[in-house]
Structure 1
Amino acid sequence: MWAMESGHLLWALLFMQSLWPQLTDGATRVYYLGIQDVQWNYAPKGRNVITNQPLDSDIVASSFLKSDKNRIGGIYKKTIYKEYKDDSYTDEVAQPAWLGFLGPVLQAEVGDVILIHLKNFATRPYTIHPHGVFYEKDSEGSLYPDGSSGPLKADDSVPPGGSHIYNWTIPESHAPTDADPVCLTWIYHSHVDAPRDIATGLIGPLITCKRGALDGNSPPQRRDVDHDFFLLFSVVDENLSWHLDENIATYCSDPASVDKEDETFQESNKMHAINGFVFGNLPELNMCAQRRVAWHLFGMGNEVDVHTAFFHGQMLTTRGHHTDVAQIFPATFVTAEMVPWEPGTWLVSCQVNSHFRDGMQALYKVKSCSMAHPVDLLTGKVRQYFIEAHEIQWNYGPMGHDGSTGKNLREPGSISDKFFQKSSSRIGGTYWKVRYEAFQDETFQEKMQLEEDRHLGILGPVIRAEVGDTIQVVFYNRASQPFSMQPHGVFYEKDYEGTVYNDGSSHPGLVAKPFEKVTYRWTVPPHAGPTAQDPACLTWMYFSAADPIKDTNSGLVGPLLVCRAGALGADGKQKGVDKEFFLLFTVLDENKSWYSNANQAAAMLDFRLLSEDIEGFQDSNRMHAINGFLFSNLPRLDMCKGDTVAWHLLGLGTETDVHGVMFQGNTVQLQGMRKGAAMLFPHTFVMAIMKPDNLGTFEIYCQAGSHREAGMRAIYNVSQCPGHQATPRQRYQAARIYYIMAEEVEWDYCPDRSWELEWHNQSEKDSYGYIFLNNKDGLLGSRYKKAVFREYTDGTFRIPRPRTGPEEHLGILGPLIKGEVGDILTVVFKNNASRPYSVHAHGVLESTTGWPLAAEPAINGKLYANLRGLTMYQGERVAWYMLGMGQDVDLHTIHFHAESFLYRNGENYRADVVDLFPGTFEVVEMVASNPGTWLLHCHVTDHVHAGMETLFTVFSRTEHLSTITTITKEAEKAVTPRDIEEGNVKMLGMQIPIKNVEILASVLVAIGVTLLLVVLALGGMVWYQHRQRKLRRNRRSILDDSFKLLSFKQ
């Protein structure tokens, strides 16, 4: 008994620190926020500022902003957060105009307390829920069934006229890491029904900073930057607003004629906004050249909210890397730093085609605030390129067959036939396009054609430069439309910009008319080159931007490489790299090409048949291509085993162009981390390094299922080349065997609807989950026949291996396969299902490949908090292994309430949202610090309402000690006769097969003996040290007596 109590005392001493409350040693920052209804104008200037057109003469802008009998227009009732000076809520604190409908900026440092006095002046319940800070249950501001009650629920829903005080802190566990910027970007928003509350307008920015970053002013200012800007990129869906019916009644001239389910009506209410402004109406983004600017960028919304923010004319630094674009998704946050160098009015826009078209654009102005001129740092070469825009007939499948399967591309009934069928209602695989082509000199007579560039396909020539260089491009437009060249990743003056917009200059945009020559001058100063954390060369892109959507779909795009000084050899190739490949992944939409009419005319189509299947015809013209090739028709990419191969990957297109680029058979390194796939979005660029060690022919493909099926794949081949030293055969240290069977089950995504119905406080029919879970009215319900992987004890596949408590959360997933470097993993697979399946592994050297199973939109196959087993104890270090699979709509941003985590991207960074895409896998590490039951969910609007959420529980340390006592008592219980009959014995709280008892007992005895020896050794060391100290004291005593005796004798 005493031994058990002393054990409890030891646990208590070890974990006492975790039991202390979250103490703070900083300032208390008090904010008075009121929730108010307002009338919001998305375009207060009354025109498209980007093109300087009145709304009436702009067809696209007027479709969103002009009111009509069944159209709301550009003014909506919204509900927003406003800041006040005190608790009287009478004196409003003025906010900068560019903040738009966002709430006020909340700021704090590590060690601070944030007190929010929230008063609801609106007509329905709302709250305030933060990201990135520590809070307890009474300050979470999020309504969901979490087992709490009484005062702990008061924060979950502040009624009209009500108020609540929220207490948030920034402890060290939520602090920016050493690698993070000085201040981290977060948000706050209402969370009664988060998707609808946010669509109504209740969202604002929050930053948490390192100690000493803020001054003592009110409001505080950052010491390290001159300007702070906060931008929300979002397709604001006013159809989800709580005020939709009121907006229809107020702004539609004939409200009775409105059909809220009509797709064109719904589309007119989706405002492609930056801070609530569209078509350049965002005001007053002004800054000084050569001053430090912090951009806090974040997204919110639905599956379409894939955003690439492009800052023309300047360079950003994000997480130690140089870029001019930022990738933004729902509930993800980017902190970017800029020192603008080039004065002028510049465009910031989302480069996703449909978002750019529909108004997600703004202007920012860089002023020359001082007389100091930047020092000329261009000490390198002038690199000349002669590039022509040339119209060609392009064949997406020149081999005529699938390079992977050998099947004819026009085989009836095949997927490829959809794209390559030539008939009176289909164009087939050959289209008129335009391509950038390189020539030797300004005469444009002799083309530059290299064998190693064959794989470029529709891409233009590679433009290369080093830091300090100047790039001079003579561009000859030999096509029938005006075209230009707009680069990423380099600097240029306004006179050499290739994009047309209203920037106040007399000749906006340098564009070449048909058969005109123009010269572009781009520079690569040090602040445009790779950083210390970047690879030696950065991958960029150039493209025509006279009309960015039509120009790029017509074919005008090419790669650009910017390297450190000295990184390129005399031949212009990157040093230390054996092979370079440039791959563009995009769905080229021939319906949006300049040559669409010409292609239809050349195909001699029967327009009567077209009108009967216009949707199918348009879909057949969307070519899922790699460098303009489908179905492995890209010329084979050859390399040698052991080569250093640089893959330069480019993205382009619209919101469906979310590409998980998978390299079968070998892995790649991205920013120092080993990966099996790289993610691409429109106007994003990745450089991956591969050192192939697996011989054979493999596929490169987009992991999004529909893209791969539609032909977005290519072939690469790894050979053992003469003269290349053979790699020594790998010595493996251990073998692990798994017995896995594919079996068919009836799977229930939501066996218990109580949590869902309590959350929404609605009847089953009115719940968001009705369409997914009801099996009436022609709906399937929540039960489906599925094929799943399940583990067995041996190769007989008779005894399933039971899942233990820690494995409960796996749900529909197969068993967790684990391995260490140096292991051989052997999977004995039996297919007990009714169709062919296999097991395919990512991230390992494989000898057999297969097809991964797709899943319904759920978390491990469960909806609405039906996933169980996500439990941990306060102070424990928890690894979360996050997997994304599915289609291009499977964009998931996973948010952990109440906890933050660290993720690695070259360095360690802090976050509370994980971005997941098809075919990507992330590992994040968390130290559980906040006891309670908390929400874990995807932040994408449709996924929240569809039930992609569950709960995780952090037990306090006191509960941990209680659990230890319980486990000990359970271990002391006698074995029951029923256990023996079933062939099991209960040991350590687990059912152990009798045949394994002796082995386990032997292991426990061995461990016990080892621990005994360790204890004896430690005891001996303590006794020896004690004896030595005693001997030293005795010697000192004898010496002291001797000195005393000598003194007496004297």
Structure 2
Amino acid sequence: MSFTRRQILGGLVGLGVVGLGAGGVRYWLGKPMFADTHDYELIAAPVDLELVAGHSTPAWGYNGQAPGMELRVRQGDWLRVRFVNQLEQDTTVHWHGIRLPLEMDGVPYLSQLPVKKGEYFDYRFLVKDAGSYWYHPHTSSSEQLGRGLVGPLIVEEREPSGFQHDHTLVLKTWHIDEEGAFTAFSVPREAAREGTRGRLTTINGKPTPTLELPSGQVVRLRLLNLDNTVTYRLNMPEADVRIYALDGHPVEPRPLGEEYWLGPGMRIDLALKVPEAGVELPLRNGPLRLATFKGLASEQPAGEWPAALPANPVPEPDLEKAETIGFNFEWSATLAKPNDKGPAKYWQINGQAWDISDKTCTDRPIATLKKDGHYIFELRNMAQYQHPIHLHGMAFKVISSNRRKIIPYFTDTFLLGKNETARVALVADNPGTWMFHCHVIDHMETGLMAAIAVV
């Protein structure tokens, strides 16, 4: 097993440090002095937030923000990010949903060594697919994501999309109390069930915000679920709104319908026809208001619905020659208590529970695929709780379910409902050992993760 060499950070010259303030260390995302080495600097450091009015929350953020600042790149270009760790913990950056080389995937002891405090790591990869993606650590995930180390990565289409207005909305529910202090990110009783829920839901770090949009225009809304646990039942009653992409990949535009279940790690791109000036439309999670969209007087002529977005260059699986592999996601009472040998294990895949403290787990992949082979994964949820199943390094096509009608689409994360069996297909075109796990973070950390090798 080989690692990308860690580099020691000799100083912060040219790293865009703004300075210190009463609210904590503040950084910014800027162009570096030496543009021949990287385009952006991304700095993980403590940052104080006011999530609850009048109270301070000791969060961790990227470049002085939590959630982190939006990164944008054009499809077909290289993304070059120098990541700097100013936390007391080791960390990495995983680029969720991006098809990239293994050494850039951000998994410690598999694709790279952890980045220690005062060190930097250069992430450089060609971005193949347009769409809405995100970045986060793959170390101490329940705490690091829970404290705010998440951020959006937007890959713009190679050619103009037809949308004149584009807004990113990051959904996150925080584990804090009424005074803004953090509560437990993972509680054993809840980790063995649906996952440990937070208390305060925000969009772009603000609870129930109002977003003013130009009336009469068709606006692109990118909704990203960057929560540890919560599945949002998104609905916009009385709105004229259509789905344009799921988890970064375009679909034939269609109405949002009654509601869409957006699990942790999942994204959806909507097009909203903004109502006349002064009219308000709610965005809801079930019956609960998440945000309000308000029409703002505009002198622009009424907007038209853009054409469907161009498909990403994902290889099409041949279902006739595909080999089928089954994966059972289940709870195991026999493994359900912590012991002195390692962390608790409440979940397993095909009878195997992942041990997050064991650095050698990746040496024992649960499946080995042939490079460029065609496969169907049969995903069986043997439990009463939902699991957003995420695959690193590749995209797969959802083709069927025993519980709902599926219009086939490509994705990297599929919300597997309780007692649901779904079939997804892929071409194993990216060599390496890739993580395969539930994106309810405390499910992942208590067993529901595996490695899949492509050789």
Give the equivalent residue in structure 1 for 2:373.
876
> CA contact under 8 A between 2:371 and 2:454: conserved in structure 1?
yes
Give the equivalent residue in structure 2 for 1:913.
413
1:153 match: secondary structure: coil
Q: Quickly say closer, same or farther: Cα 1:301–1:105, change in 2 above 3 A.
A: closer
Spell out the pairing of 1:742-781 with structure 2 (5 A cutoff).
765=340, 767-769=342-344, 772=346
1:925 aligns with 2:415: no
Q: Shift of the alpha carbon at 1:101?
A: 2.6
User: Which of 283, 291, 296 is the matching residue for 1:367?
Assistant: 296
Q: Quickly say closer, same or farther: Cα 1:308–1:346, change in 2 above 3 A.
A: farther
Q: CA RMSD of the aligned region, Å?
A: 3.6
Give the equivalent residue in structure 1 for 2:10.
none
> CA contact under 8 A between 2:171 and 2:227: conserved in structure 1?
no
Q: Shift of the alpha carbon at 1:907?
A: 5.4
Q: Shift of the alpha carbon at 1:123?
A: 2.5
What amino acid maps onto 1:277 in structure 2?
Answer: K
Give the equivalent residue in structure 2 for 1:342.
276
> CA contact under 8 A between 2:175 and 2:182: conserved in structure 1?
no
Give the equivalent residue in structure 1 for 2:175.
237
Give the equivalent residue in structure 1 for 2:122.
165
1:554-593, Cα deviation, whole Å (9 max, x unpaired): xxxxxxxxxxxxxxxxxxxxxxxxxxxxxxxxxxxxxxxx
Instruction: For CA contacts below 8 A with separation 6 or more, give which structure has more relative contact order.
Output: 2
- Equivalent residues, number: 363
1:153 aligns with 2:112: yes
> CA contact under 8 A between 1:300 and 1:940: conserved in structure 2?
no
Could you tell me how far apart the structure 2 residues matched to 1:907 and 1:261 are? 37
Q: Quickly say closer, same or farther: Cα 1:748–1:954, change in 2 above 3 A.
A: farther
Q: Shift of the alpha carbon at 1:198?
A: 0.7
Give the equivalent residue in structure 1 for 2:42.
33
What amino acid maps onto 1:900 in structure 2?
Answer: A
User: Which of 109, 134, 139 is the matching residue for 2:104?
Assistant: 139
> CA contact under 8 A between 2:97 and 2:392: conserved in structure 1?
no
Identical positions, percent = 21
Give the equivalent residue in structure 2 for 1:77.
58
Give the equivalent residue in structure 1 for 2:445.
945
Could you tell me how far apart the structure 2 residues matched to 1:943 and 1:911 are? 20
> CA contact under 8 A between 1:35 and 1:82: conserved in structure 2?
yes
Give the equivalent residue in structure 2 for 1:188.
135
1:858 match: secondary structure: strand
Could you tell me how far apart the structure 1 residues matched to 2:202 and 2:299 are? 33
Could you tell me how far apart the structure 2 residues matched to 1:947 and 1:348 are? 38
Give the equivalent residue in structure 2 for 1:902.
397
User: Which of 158, 183, 190 is the matching residue for 1:211?
Assistant: 158
User: Which of 353, 356, 373 is the matching residue for 1:863?
Assistant: 353
Spell out the pairing of 1:882-893 with structure 2 (5 A cutoff).
882-887=379-384, 890-893=385-388
Could you tell me how far apart the structure 2 residues matched to 1:766 and 1:347 are? 52
* Bigger radius of gyration: 1
Could you tell me how far apart the structure 2 residues matched to 1:882 and 1:125 are? 33
What amino acid maps onto 2:354 in structure 1?
Answer: Y
Q: Shift of the alpha carbon at 1:194?
A: 1.9
2:351 match: secondary structure: coil
Give the equivalent residue in structure 2 for 1:275.
204
1:17-65, Cα deviation, whole Å (9 max, x unpaired): xxxxxxxxxxx98221111211111245x7xxxxxxxxxxxxxxxxxxx
What amino acid maps onto 1:913 in structure 2?
Answer: T
Q: Quickly say closer, same or farther: Cα 1:34–1:168, change in 2 above 3 A.
A: same
1:171-200, Cα deviation, whole Å (9 max, x unpaired): 3xxx3xxxxxxx422111111122221101
Structure showing the higher strand proportion among its residues: 2
Could you tell me how far apart the structure 1 residues matched to 2:442 and 2:436 are? 15
User: Which of 241, 245, 264 is the matching residue for 1:316?
Assistant: 241
Could you tell me how far apart the structure 2 residues matched to 1:204 and 1:331 are? 11
> CA contact under 8 A between 1:233 and 1:328: conserved in structure 2?
no
2:57 match: secondary structure: strand
> CA contact under 8 A between 2:228 and 2:441: conserved in structure 1?
yes
Could you tell me how far apart the structure 1 residues matched to 2:78 and 2:302 are? 43
1:196 match: secondary structure: helix
> CA contact under 8 A between 2:236 and 2:284: conserved in structure 1?
no
Q: Quickly say closer, same or farther: Cα 1:767–1:343, change in 2 above 3 A.
A: farther
1:197 aligns with 2:144: yes
Which segments of 5 or more consecutive residues in structure 2 lack a partner in the other structure?
1-36, 191-195, 244-250, 309-331, 356-360, 400-404
Could you tell me how far apart the structure 1 residues matched to 2:163 and 2:79 are? 22
Spell out the pairing of 1:919-998 with structure 2 (5 A cutoff).
919-955=419-455
1:107 match: secondary structure: strand
Q: Shift of the alpha carbon at 1:368?
A: 1.9
Q: TM-score, normalised by structure 2?
A: 0.70
> CA contact under 8 A between 2:176 and 2:199: conserved in structure 1?
yes
Spell out the pairing of 1:713-732 with structure 2 (5 A cutoff).
none
Q: Quickly say closer, same or farther: Cα 1:42–1:347, change in 2 above 3 A.
A: farther
1:689-710, Cα deviation, whole Å (9 max, x unpaired): xxxxxxxxxxxxxxxxxxxxxx
Q: Quickly say closer, same or farther: Cα 1:916–1:141, change in 2 above 3 A.
A: same
> CA contact under 8 A between 1:132 and 1:208: conserved in structure 2?
no
1:419-438, Cα deviation, whole Å (9 max, x unpaired): xxxxxxxxxxxxxxxxxxxx
Spell out the pairing of 1:300-315 with structure 2 (5 A cutoff).
300-303=226-229, 305-315=230-240
Q: Quickly say closer, same or farther: Cα 1:292–1:925, change in 2 above 3 A.
A: same
Q: Shift of the alpha carbon at 1:312?
A: 4.8
> CA contact under 8 A between 1:135 and 1:167: conserved in structure 2?
no
> CA contact under 8 A between 1:877 and 1:927: conserved in structure 2?
yes
Q: Quickly say closer, same or farther: Cα 1:349–1:766, change in 2 above 3 A.
A: farther
Give the equivalent residue in structure 2 for 1:723.
none
Q: Shift of the alpha carbon at 1:268?
A: 11
Q: Quickly say closer, same or farther: Cα 1:296–1:271, change in 2 above 3 A.
A: same
Q: Quickly say closer, same or farther: Cα 1:941–1:238, change in 2 above 3 A.
A: farther
1:107 aligns with 2:37: no
Structure showing the higher helix proportion among its residues: 1
Q: Quickly say closer, same or farther: Cα 1:885–1:748, change in 2 above 3 A.
A: closer
> CA contact under 8 A between 1:125 and 1:192: conserved in structure 2?
yes
> CA contact under 8 A between 2:51 and 2:205: conserved in structure 1?
yes
